[in-house]
Amino acid sequence: MMDMKVNRVGQTDVSVTSLSLGGASLGNLGQVVSDADANAVLHHAWSAGIRYFDTAPHYGRGLSEQRMGAFLKARPREDFVLSTKVGRVLSPGPQLKEADGFIEPLPNAVRYDYSADGILESFEASCARLGTSKIDIVFVHDIGDYTHGTTEGARHLEALLGSGMAALQRLKQAGRIGAIGLGVNECQICIEVMKHTPLDVILLAGRLTLLDRTAEAALLDLCAAQGTSLVLGGIFNSGILATGPSPDAWFDYAPAETEILEKVTALQDQAKEVGLTLAEAALQFALRHPAACSVLLGTGKIRSLQRNLDAAALQISGQALEFVTT
């Protein structure tokens, strides 16, 4: 078991381990993960000292939540922190071979709903799949233009600010939620929401990494001013910071363009000069960032999880430390 640092989430009573397990792969993202392999990954994370687990209805249309719930039901509820997401509402639907990149998802249909009614329906269904009456952190999932486009994005934001956030606040006041945040791939929607309502935490995917520093422009200062923590996801930017600048590398959910490949080549050379692999440097950058309360490790394979655990445990100093903290 690693000596895992624990960090407070915003100004709440929730504290999370500095490393956390993301549940997208456990929902069969891109490939099928058996129940046995999913359970083995969860066991490995627990044995390593990870006590913060993140999932969402989106991941396999409930499959990831179902698997996490089955694993965590044997553990005392006070021994772990659990987050899931609202914004997508599941209902019984046809069995599909693939949906939104998830292979063999559960037979559920999905609709977006960021209103109070939709959020409450999503929350209660997640609690049922997870086998709990309380969710430590609830993220509003994929709100914003990045996912929905300008017109639909504006409509969903209106629903969230009109009634959805108030519903989340009522759940928090009732003790059923410990912290409220956004789970998104863009910074601008965070800034927009924070103009209207405070956030305890943001799960920010791919916008504060060794390669992509978009969050540094405005979001980090706003988070510091409002006391909002960051959970960092997508720290390898869809894989390119793990695989390196290969011709088939992906960045931001698409094949990497030449400009990105050139930037990653330079980063890889810099990392090598200070004795790190590119993936080690990417993980150390996220883990040591002062704005981050936790770094999500998303995988359905034990060897990948262990490789990341080993990278996180590296003791670095001198030039390597300077490289990953500037």
Q: Has 301 been annotated as catalytic? A: no
Q: Has 37 been annotated as catalytic? A: no
Contacts of 70 (CB under 8 A, 6+ apart): 39, 131
Q: Which of 59, 113, 212, 252 is catalytic?
A: 59
Closest CA to 114 of 132, 150, 139, 92: 139
Q: Has 59 been annotated as catalytic? A: yes
Q: Which amino acid is at 180?
A: I
Question: Which sign, positive or negative, has the C-alpha torsion 273, 278, 282, 287?
Answer: negative
For residue 276, give both structure tokens.
């790190």
Crossing angle (nearest 10°) for helices 165-173 and 116-130: 50
Determine phi and psi for 14, rounding to 5 degrees: -85, 135
Q: Which of 85, 113, 114, 212 is catalytic?
A: 85
- Provide the residue count of the chain: 326
Closest CA to 20 of 194, 178, 136: 136
Q: Which of 37, 52, 54, 200 is catalytic?
A: 54
Q: How far is CA 24 from the centre of its chain?
A: 9
Burial 186-210 (b: 16+ CB within 10 A, else e): bbebbebbbeeeebbbbbbbbbbbb
Active site residue ranges: 54, 59, 85
